[in-house]
Structure 1
Amino acid sequence: MPDAQLGRSRLVAQGLVTRPFARPSDAVAALGAMQGQDLPGVLASAALRTASGGVRDVLEDLDAGALVRGYPMRGTVFLLPAVDAVWMTELCAERPIREAVARRNRQGLDDSSLEMAREIARAEMAGGPISRAQLFELWEAAGIRTTGGFGYHLVFMLIAETTLVYGPWNGTEQDLALLDQWIPDSPRLARRFDGDTVAATAELALRYFTSHGPATVRDFAWWTKLPLTAVRAAMPLIVEELETDGAAEASFWRPGLLDEVAKVGRAAAGPLLLPGFDEFVLGYQDRLFAMAAHEHVRLVPGNNGVFRRSVVAGGLVRGTWARAGTASRRRLEVEEFAPMSATRMRQLEVLFGSYPWVLP
C-alpha cells in the first residue's frame, strides 16, 4: 500500500528535498551509486540533489574523472563515484558476469572474440577515450560482430571486468576510456579493504541505508544482488551507526532523519519532476510504497523495464510527465493519476523551466 510518510522520509534521505550536496560527485558518493541506463536522466538525478541543481556541474565532474558509469551490480549500468568504481564492481559484479558468460556461450560468442576486443580497445584507447560508435567500428573492421547485442555484451564484459569505463562527456554521451588510465587512483578491493568483502559490504550498506532509508536488509540485498547471507554478515559492523524500527523485518535509516523530516515539514510534500530511473523509484525492492499497483502499470507500461518520468507530490508518485515540442519551444505534458489543482500545475511548470536538461 502507498505510504506517504515513508515516501517523504525517503525523499529527504535522498537529498531531493533539501539538496544538501555541494557537488554531484558528493551526491552520488552518498547514495553509493545511481542507476544510469538513461544517461540524461541520471545526470539530472545527480543535479537535482545538489545546491545549484545545474547539469553543468555534473558534466564537469565527468570530465574531471570524479564521476564515471560502470556495471557494478545487477548487470545494470550505474553512475558511480570514480574513487569507488573498482572496489564496488569487484564486490558485486561476479554474479552478473557469470550470467553474461552463460548467455554468451549460448549465443556463440567465444572467449577469443572477447580477448581480441580487449586487445583492440587497449591499443586504440591508449591515446585517450573514444566513443562507443568508434569502438564498434574498430571491432567490426577486425571481424568482430557487434550487431544483435554482441557489441553491448563486449562493452559490458570489458567494463564489468574493470578494463573500460564510461568517462568524459563528448557533447552527446560519455566516451569509453581505459579504466586504469582514466581513473588510476580508484582502489581495488584488496587495497581499499584489505580484501575483506564483509567490510566492503558494510561500507556499501551504510551508504545505502543513510541515503535510502528507511529501508530493509532485503531492499539492500535486492539493490546490490548480493546474497542475503553476505549482507546479514555485514550488518553487525554498522548497525550501531543507524536508527531502526526494530520490526520483525527491520527498517534502518540514518540517525536524526525523522527529526529532519519533521523540521522540513511541508517542504517534504512539495512537488518534484523526477527522471524515469531515479533512485526514489528504483532504489527499493517494492515500489508500491510510492504508488498503487494500477498506477505502477502506468509508470512502467507493459512492465518492460522502461520507466516513465514521475511527478511526485506529498511523498507519492502522482503521475508521469514528458517533454514535448521542438528544441526552440518545449512544453510540459503531464499524465495525472488523479486530477491536480491549477496551483499544482503551475508549480510543475516552474520546475519544468528549471529542470537540468543535458541535451536541448
Structure 2
Amino acid sequence: MVALTRARLVAQALVGAGFPTPTDAVGAAGAMQGQDLPGVLASAALRSSGRVADVLEELDCGRLVRGYPMRGTVFLMTAADVTWITQLCVAPAIRAAAARRHHLGLDAAQLSHAGDLAQSLLEEGPKAKAELFGRWDARGLAPQGGRGYHLLFSLIAEGLIVYGPWNGSEQDVALREQWLRSSPTLEDRFGGERIPAVAELLLRYLTSHGPATLRDFAWWTKLTLGEIRKALPLIVDGLESDGADDASYWRPGLLDEVAALGRATAQPLLLPGFDEYILGYADRSFAAPSAHLAKLVPGNNGVFKRSVVIGGRVLGTWSRGGRPGDRRLEVEPFDSISEGHLRRLERRFATFPFVTD
C-alpha cells in the first residue's frame, strides 16, 4: 500500500518533477475535477510552477477552461482537449440531464431558447454567470430553483459555451467557438473514430494517475469497459503493468523515479479538497481507511475537505484561519502528527497557491 500511495504521488506530479506550465499539467491528466474552483486552480499550480497567477493567466488567455466532459461534473481542461473529450464522454450525462428536465419544468424548446439568449449575450464577449442568469430571468426562463444551473450545464455539455476568463471571484462564461482559439473536435483529432480517442485518454489517465486499472478509468470517464478493452492494445506497449487479473498500469520508469526520490515521497503535503489524488480513483482506500474517509467527506455529502497527506496517506484535514494579512494554518489530525511534520506543513501553507487573500 505504501508503494502504491507514493507511486501515485509521483505520477500525479505532487512529488518530484512538476510540469513546465499549468496547461502542461492539466493536459497530461486529460482533465482535473473542478467544482471547487479555487481548489482546482491550486491543484494545477501545485503540479507546475506553484503560482496560482500562472493558472489564472492561462484561463485569461483561453488555454485553460472548465467544462462538463463526463459524469455530469465540471472539470478543468485545456482548450485543445475540451471539445473532443467532451464529445467522447458526455453522452450519458446529457441523457441523464434530459431525463431530469421535466422535473424542473423545462423542455427542449426552453433549452433552445436559453441557447439563443446565451449566444446573443455572449457574442459581445465573456460575461459573468449572474448576467447570463439575469438575461434568462428577464426573458421568462426563471433560473431559480436549479433551472439556471441545469440550462448552463446543458449548454456547456453540448458545446455552445465554456467557463472562460477569471473575473476576480469566479470564471465568466463565454462562447466556445469565440473564446477558444483552437479546440479540435473528435472528427478533427481522430476522424470521428472513438477507439483511438479512448486510447489517447486512457494513456493520459494511466500515465498521470497510475498505477491504476481499467476499471478506475471506466469509473472516471463512464466509458464502457468494452470500448476501453478495445483501446488498450493501441497503447499497452508504452506502459508497465503488474500483470494481475485486474491489472494495474503505469508510465514507464515510474517505480524507478519513486525509488530515486526515496524519502522525498513521504514529505507532508497540503492538498485542495477535490484534488485528483483523492478523487481520481474508484477506490480511495489506498489513501485512507473508511473511518478517515468519512471525516474527509462528512456525512458522505460529496463535499471533500482539504487533506493533509503524509507519505501518501490522508492523516487529517486542514483549513485557513484568520483574516487577510494574518492567515494561519488550522489542522484537524486523524492521528497524531509529529511536531516536525507540523512545521513542514506550516511551510507548505506559507507558499500554498491561494487565489484570494
The Cα shift of 1:357 comes to 0.4
Runs of 4+ in 1 over 6 A off after TM superposition: none
Deviations 1:131-175 (A, max 9, x none): 100100010000111111100000000000000000111111110
1:240 aligns with: 237
1:295 aligns with: 292
Specify the code of the residue in structure 2 equivalent to 1:165.
V
1:15 aligns with: 13
Q: Which secondary structure does the structure 2 equivalent of 1:248 belong to? A: coil
* Kept in 1: contact 2:67–2:162 (CA 8 A): yes
2:114 aligns with: 117
Q: Which secondary structure does the structure 1 equivalent of 2:270 belong to? A: strand
Distance 1:185 1:325 in 2: 42
2:133 aligns with: 136
* Kept in 2: contact 1:44–1:55 (CA 8 A): yes
Q: Does 1:34 align with 2:17?
A: no
- Residue in structure 1 matching 2:169, options 172, 187, 190: 172
RMSD of equivalent CA atoms:
0.7
2:267 aligns with: 270
Q: Which runs of 5+ in 1 are unaligned?
A: none
1:26-105 matches, cutoff 5 A: 26-50=24-48, 52-105=49-102
Identical columns (%) = 60
Deviations 1:289-347 (A, max 9, x none): 01011000000000010000000001111110001111121111101011111111111
Q: Which secondary structure does the structure 2 equivalent of 1:310 belong to? A: strand
Distance 1:145 1:248 in 2: 52
* Kept in 2: contact 1:273–1:312 (CA 8 A): yes
* Kept in 1: contact 2:84–2:189 (CA 8 A): yes
Distance 1:108 1:95 in 2: 21
Specify the code of the residue in structure 2 equivalent to 1:54.
R
* Kept in 1: contact 2:104–2:146 (CA 8 A): no
The Cα shift of 1:181 comes to 0.4
Question: Normalising by the residue count of structure 1, what TM-score does the alignment of the two structures yield?
Answer: 0.98
Question: Normalising by the residue count of structure 2, what TM-score does the alignment of the two structures yield?
Answer: 0.99
1:177-196 matches, cutoff 5 A: 177-196=174-193
2:23 aligns with: 25
Q: Which secondary structure does the structure 1 equivalent of 2:346 belong to? A: helix
Q: Which secondary structure does the structure 2 equivalent of 1:146 belong to? A: coil
Q: Which secondary structure does the structure 2 equivalent of 1:17 belong to? A: coil
Q: Does 1:213 align with 2:210?
A: yes
Specify the code of the residue in structure 2 equivalent to 1:12.
V
Q: Does 1:333 align with 2:330?
A: yes
Distance 1:4 1:171 in 2: 40
The Cα shift of 1:184 comes to 4.0
* Kept in 2: contact 1:40–1:357 (CA 8 A): yes
Q: Does 1:199 align with 2:213?
A: no
Deviations 1:62-81 (A, max 9, x none): 01111000000000000001
* Kept in 2: contact 1:5–1:315 (CA 8 A): no
Distance 2:70 2:255 in 1: 30
The Cα shift of 1:4 comes to 2.0
Distance 2:139 2:16 in 1: 51
Q: Which runs of 5+ in 2 are unaligned?
A: none
Distance 2:286 2:339 in 1: 26
Q: Which secondary structure does the structure 2 equivalent of 1:288 belong to? A: coil
1:347 aligns with: 344
* Kept in 1: contact 2:70–2:222 (CA 8 A): yes
Distance 2:146 2:325 in 1: 35
Moved more, 157-166 or 326-335: 326-335
Q: Which secondary structure does the structure 1 equivalent of 2:315 belong to? A: strand
Q: Which secondary structure does the structure 2 equivalent of 1:289 belong to? A: coil
Distance 2:265 2:340 in 1: 17
The Cα shift of 1:112 comes to 1.5
Count of paired positions: 357
The Cα shift of 1:46 comes to 0.1
Distance 2:26 2:241 in 1: 24
* Kept in 2: contact 1:19–1:48 (CA 8 A): no
* Kept in 1: contact 2:296–2:307 (CA 8 A): yes
